Structure formats: structure tokens, C-alpha cells
Amino acid sequence: MLRVGLTGGIGSGKSTVSGRLAEHGAVVIDADRIAREVVEPGTPGLAQLADAFGSGILDRSGSLDRAALATVVFADDAARQRLNGIVHPLIGERTAELMNAAPADAIVVHDVPLLVENGLAPAYHLVIVVDAPVDTRVERVTRDRGMSEADTRARIAAQATEQARRAVADVWLDNGGPVDQVLADVDALWADRLVRYEANIRLGQYNRSGGPRLVPPDPTWPTQADRLAARVRTAIGDLDARVDHIGSTAVPGLPAKDVVDLQLTVDSMDQADNLADALAQAGFPRHPRIDRDNPKPYAPDPAQWPKRLHLSADPGRLVNLHVRAEGSPGWRLALLIPAWLRADESARAEYRALKEHLADRFGADDDIDRYVEAKEPWFDQAATRAEDWAQRTGWTP
């Protein structure tokens, strides 16, 4: 099952996107609809609200008077917390029930207006954010919902900022233009990414990293790494786990293959193996053949360099997730090399020149294995130089 979070601010046209995904076969779970269902007349949820806030929150038919309830909780933090304490567990239970009822090969789209505000993004394999210019959103809401412009702009200002939404967005859909354009974007997203991603997770498959093709530095690489690291922590049930952004994409200004490298720190390889299934279900299946790093001259015993490698099942984002034990030579070196390159301009220029030379040399043949092998002699001597730098500067992991 592929879990997709869908969100967007008021007037962004999120319902257009969810509707198109449903047409393709997605199982859409609408958080707003569930929030209404759990407090319908005759439900335990409505009874609990009436007990907590009095019969004044009910209209003449016995239904919830949302305006009356809003008046009660609007300026009272304790009342609002009491309301959330009643409603949120009911919404959570119903959401889990619907997700569990979905087929094993389903693409489940969870439509959540407050996904960003409630910190829910790491729970999904993929997050889609629908956006449109503020003026376009205001025009839509005032036209379609009858709200005043002032109220609409106040609602927009109270919701998550564009910056906060971009930080969690794996996919950013611009819905400011003709509806046919966003529908075409959704169609392509479904065929090229979502369907393939679901199949990869179900079959335990990962994406190949391709050849040694370098791209210019992407200033969003660190944000992408943060997003992926949060997903890893959530998957293993340890929100305090150490997950570091390593590799070339962790060095600002350095061209690199468009592959985000992460390192998950564990206590032992036994713990790494115990986490393998959880990581695979989160979209990071394990590479079956790689179980160690290449030893370096200062620690030549291969037994000192164990690791596990997990790769991304997401066709739209290549990831290498290295799992190493804290304190091992490979763990330390993976943290040290990018720190040294960030600090040493000449070393960074040297490595850049090497990468570009080898990419030109092996890129035409799309030969990633020979590209990686040809870098090893440089890394053998760079490891010693980086350790010297660490001793001089007092760097530690």
C-alpha cells in the first residue's frame, strides 16, 4: 500500500486533485468528511461534545451547531483542548479503519487540510501540496463559498505558510492556471510515479541510481534530506534516531549525482537487520548484496566496515540510506568527509575536478560502477587528510 498525504490551503483547488486521483483508482480518505461523520446525530462523538459543552451547541434538529461550538471554544484554550481531546481520537480511529480496509495494492490518498500544521507529513510515503497564488485563492473562495475577502485573507494568513508547505512537499502542484493543466499534471504523476512507487513497495523493489551524471548544486537538497530523515525516524518508531545527510549533496556548491545520501546510526548490525522490514515498508528496501564498505588503509580489516544499504522505492527521488553502527570506521568517515569538504575550499575544488573528470570519462557508457571504483584511490588518501583536519580543528561526530 502506498500512503499519500494531500494538502493545500483554502482555495488552492485540492478537491480537484483528489477527485482526479479518485478517478484513477486511488482510495481517497477525506479528513474533513470524517470530522463531520464522527459528530453526526446519534454518534458517541456528538454525545460527548454535548456532555462537555452543553446542549447549547446543538441546533433544533439535534445536529451539531458548529457556529455555536466555535463561539464556545474560540477564545478558550482549555475548551479547545477538550474539544480536540474528544474529536481527534475518533477521527484517528475512523481513519485507521478506512486505511486498514483498503486493498494491499491500493494507493491511499489522505486528504488533510491541516497536514502541515499538525506535523503529519513523515507518516506518508509521499506528500502532495496543491497551491495557487493568493489572489486566485481569494477569488475562488469569495465566489464559491460566499466568504468575504477579509475573512478569506484572514483564513489564509492563519494557515501554514508557503515555506512550511514546501518543506514537506515531495510534489508541488501549481493549480493557479487552467484546470486542464493541473489535471494533466495529476495524470502524469499517477502514471509515472504513484503507480510505480506502489508496485515497488509491494514487490520490495528499488530504483537504480543510473549513470555518473552530475547536476548543478540544488539548494533544496538539505531540505529534501530533512524530509526523508523524518520519514525514516517515523518508520522505525524512534523520533530521536540519528539520521544525517551525508555524501556530495550535503556539501553546498558541489555538483553531484541527484541522489540524496543519508546515514542512519544504529547500535549494531543486529539492530540494523531488525529494522529492515520497517524501512522497506516505508519505501526503503534493502540492497541484498551490499553488506560492507571498502576498507581504508588505516583500517584494512573488512570486518571493521559492516553496513546495510537501503535504496528508495520512489521513482521520483533517488536515495541511498546507509545504516552503520555508531563508532565504526565507516560511520565516522561518512560524517567526516562532508564536514571536511565543507570547511576546506581547496579539497572541495579538488574533489569537484575529480568528479567532473570521471563523469566525462564514464558518463557516455553510463558506467556508474567504474565511476565509483575510479574514485576509491582519491578517497583512500582523502580519508587520512580528513582525519588530520579533524585532529587540527577538534572536529568530532
Overall average pLDDT of the 192-199 stretch: 98
pLDDT given at position 362: 87
**Pairwise CA distance, residues 140 & 143, whole Å:** 5
pLDDT given at position 365: 74
pLDDT of residue 275 exceeding 80: yes
**Cell 548484496, residue located:** 289
Structure confidence by residue, pLDDT tens digits, 297-329: 889 999 999 999 999 999 999 999 999 999 999
- Residue 386 confidence class, pLDDT cut points 50, 70, 90: very high
Q: Is 265 annotated as a binding residue?
A: no
Structure confidence by residue, pLDDT tens digits, 219-255: 999 999 999 999 999 999 999 999 999 999 999 999 9
What the chain holds in terms of domains, given with CATH numbers, is 1-26+106-203 (3.40.50.300), 27-104 (3.40.50.300), 221-393 (3.30.460.10)
Structure confidence by residue, pLDDT tens digits, 48-80: 999 999 989 999 999 999 888 988 887 788 988
Task: Give φ, ψ of 345 to 5 degrees.
Answer: -65, -40
Q: Is 327 annotated as a binding residue?
A: no
Q: Is 42 annotated as a binding residue?
A: no
Q: Is 283 annotated as a binding residue?
A: no
pLDDT of residue 210 exceeding 90: no
Q: Above pLDDT 90, what percent of the chain?
A: 88
Q: Is 346 annotated as a binding residue?
A: no
Claim: this prediction has a pTM higher than 0.75 = yes
Q: Is 63 annotated as a binding residue?
A: no
Structure confidence by residue, pLDDT tens digits, 340-374: 999 999 999 999 999 999 999 988 777 888 898 99
Overall average pLDDT of the 3-9 stretch: 97
